[in-house]
A = this chain, B = another copy of it.
Amino acid sequence: MGNAKVGNDKGADEAKPAASTRGPGRRLHGAVAHKLGTAILSGKYAPGDTLSGEVAFAEELEISRSAYREAVQVLTAKGLVESRPKAGTRVLPRNRWNLLDPDVLAWAFAGEPDVEFIRNLFELRSIVEPAAARLAAERRDKSDIKVMKEALAAMRRHTVATEAGRAADRDFHNAILRATHNDALMALAASIGAAVNWTTQFKQRARALPRNPIPDHVRVYDAIAAGDADAASDAMRALVDLALEDTRSSMQD
A residues within 8 Å of B by Cβ? 29, 33, 66, 69-70, 73-74, 76-79, 94-95, 97-103, 117, 120-121, 123-124, 127-128, 131-132, 135, 178, 182-188, 190
Contacts and interface: CB of A to CB of B under 8 A. Distances in A.
Contacts of A102: 79, 98
Contact of A183 (B120, B128, B187, B188): B120
Nearest to A180: B123
- Copies of this chain, complex-wide, total 2
A123 B184 contact: yes
A38 to B, nearest CB: 15
A187 B74 CA distance: 18
A187 B195 CA distance: 15
A158 B183 CA distance: 34
A21 to B, nearest CB: 18
A124 B127 CA distance: 11
A105 to B, nearest CB: 10
B183 A99 contact: yes
Contacts of A95: 178, 183, 186
A132 B100 CA distance: 17
Given A74-B76, A100-B187, A127-B131, 15 more contacts: A69-B70, A73-B73, A73-B74, A77-B77, A95-B178, A95-B183, A98-B190, A100-B184, A117-B184, A120-B184, A120-B185, A121-B184, A123-B185, A124-B188, A128-B128
A207 B78 CA distance: 36
Contact of A77 (B74, B120, B127, B188): B74
Contacts of A135: 123
Contacts of A103: 77
Complex A-B, nearest 10 residue pairs according to Cβ-Cβ distance, in ascending order: A77-B77, A99-B187, A127-B131, A74-B77, A120-B184, A124-B184, A120-B182, A73-B73, A70-B73, A100-B187
24 contacts: A33-B77, A66-B69, A73-B77, A74-B76, A74-B77, A77-B77, A77-B78, A77-B103, A95-B183, A95-B186, A98-B98, A99-B183, A99-B184, A100-B100, A100-B187, A101-B101, A120-B183, A120-B185, A123-B135, A123-B182, A124-B185, A127-B127, A127-B128, A127-B132
